[in-house]
Amino acid sequence: MMKQYVLKRFFLLLPTFLGITGLTFFMLQLAPGDPAALKAQSFTELLADPQQTEAVVTETQKLYGLEKPLSLQYLLWLKRIVLFDFGESYRDHRPVMAKIAEALPITLLLNALTLLVIFVIAFPLGAYNALKPNSFHDRVSALFLFLLYSLPSFWFALLLIVLFAGGDYLNLFPLIGIFSDGAERLPWYGRIGNLLWHLILPVIVLSVANIAFLSRFVRASLVEVMKKEYIRTAYAKGLSPFQVMVKHAFKNALLPLVTLFGSLLPALLSGSVIVEQIFSIPGMGRLSFESVLARDYPVIMGITVMTATLMLISYFVTDIVYGFLDPRLRLHERRGL
């Protein structure tokens, strides 16, 4: 039974993948703007007449392979993807994969640290608030968290920079990149220190809104579970609230969180455009943003494929894990529901 369920989910992946990449491909090409014209735009003096200039643009389109009909372009692209050939960027003619391989580790590191911070703060906070729902403490922290949640990250990042990293007030943190210039001269522990020093502000900006969101989520989920009868039974056994929470409440309260984990992996890799732009971090967010502006189709498609694949895999895994964790789901499957 389980096997059928897994297989069914698995075979749904392929059409979804084609759908995502196909849509992205056609939307990209149909959006106004042409990479060849962008590159050829010239504000210098020309003796040549416009016809000749246009011939140059056409040559460049051919160089990029843009002269063929769209559907054919998509099929050719698919064929290359199957062979793991993602092509080369229009901007600098480097392999797309090399560009992604440069940006990915940076985003990965930044987001992994952020996630860590989010979980370490949000879970205890949510649980603590769930202990006494609607108490004064719960209300104050709710207010505070909503405040944090609604801070525009752009504004918050600039505020942090001006206060803690600018030349005017406190000048404690660096504000660009993830290493100081010349950090390769430092010993390994110095390099780690230098890296962490650079990541403090970006991680704060990235985690603030999510801490607010996740801790409220955990709290809501826990409060729901804490009303259940088996919790009362646990208390009756003489367990402390802490033990009740950890041993009995959490397990059930975390079930809805599994869905949340499904979107975690893609989020880990996609990067934040705003934070990466502000802190000059050359990660995935900035790469996608710049590629879109330059209409660098191969790079955008490469990123799409990667994100789509990871998203599909993580949803697939989530579905299956869900099935394992919650026997009720499997039962439904068996009944054909």
Q: Which of residues 1-40 bind other proteins (CB under 8 A)?
A: 31-34, 36-40
Where in 59-88 is the site for other proteins (CB under 8 A)?
A: 59-60, 62-63, 88
Q: Which is nearer to other proteins, 1 or 192 (CB)?
A: 192
In contact, 279 and 176? CB cutoff 8 Å = yes
Which residue stretch of 192-200, 256-264, 312-320, 328-336 sits at the interface with other proteins (rule: CB under 8 A)? 192-200
Q: Which is nearer to other proteins, 297 or 315 (CB)?
A: 297
126 binds other proteins (CB under 8 A): no
CA distance between the termini of the chain: 13
Which residue stretch of 18-26, 180-188, 202-210, 311-319 sits at the interface with other proteins (rule: CB under 8 A)? 180-188
- Provide the angle, in degrees to the nearest 10, between the axes of the packed helices 297-325 and 255-262: 160
Where in 222-281 is the site for other proteins (CB under 8 A)?
A: 235, 238-243, 246-247, 277-281
- What is d(CA 20, CA 295) in angstroms, rounded to the nearest whole number? 18
Residue 187 one-letter amino acid: P
Where in 195-224 is the site for other proteins (CB under 8 A)?
A: 196-197
Which two structure tokens, joined as six digits, stand for 2? Answer: 């389980």
Q: Which is nearer to other proteins, 36 or 118 (CB)?
A: 36
Among residues 28, 57, 121, 254, the one that binds other proteins under rule CB under 8 A:
57
Among residues 1, 2, 23, 46, the one that binds other proteins under rule CB under 8 A:
46
Among residues 11, 30, 93, 227, the one that binds other proteins under rule CB under 8 A:
93
199-235: burial string, b at 16+ Cβ within 10 Å, e else = bbbbbbbbbbbbbbbbbbbbbbbbbebbeeeebeebe
Where in 144-163 is the site for other proteins (CB under 8 A)?
A: 158, 161-162
Q: Which is nearer to other proteins, 13 or 204 (CB)?
A: 204
Q: Which is nearer to other proteins, 187 or 336 (CB)?
A: 187
Could you count the other beta carbons within 10 Å of the beta carbon of residue 323?
Answer: 19
- Burial of 236 by CB count in 10 Å (0-12 exposed, 13-18 middle, 19+ buried)? exposed
Residue 122 one-letter amino acid: A
Minimum distance from CB of 13 to other proteins (Å)? 33
91 binds other proteins (CB under 8 A): yes
Which two structure tokens, joined as six digits, stand for 135? Answer: 């108490």
DSSP per position, 165-202: ISSSS---S--SSSS-TTGGGS-HHHHHHHHHHHHHHH
Binding residues for other proteins, rule CB under 8 A, total 88
Where in 105-124 is the site for other proteins (CB under 8 A)?
A: none
In contact, 200 and 173? CB cutoff 8 Å = yes
97 binds other proteins (CB under 8 A): no
Minimum distance from CB of 267 to other proteins (Å)? 21
- What is d(CA 165, CA 110) in angstroms, rounded to the nearest whole number? 19
Minimum distance from CB of 175 to other proteins (Å)? 6
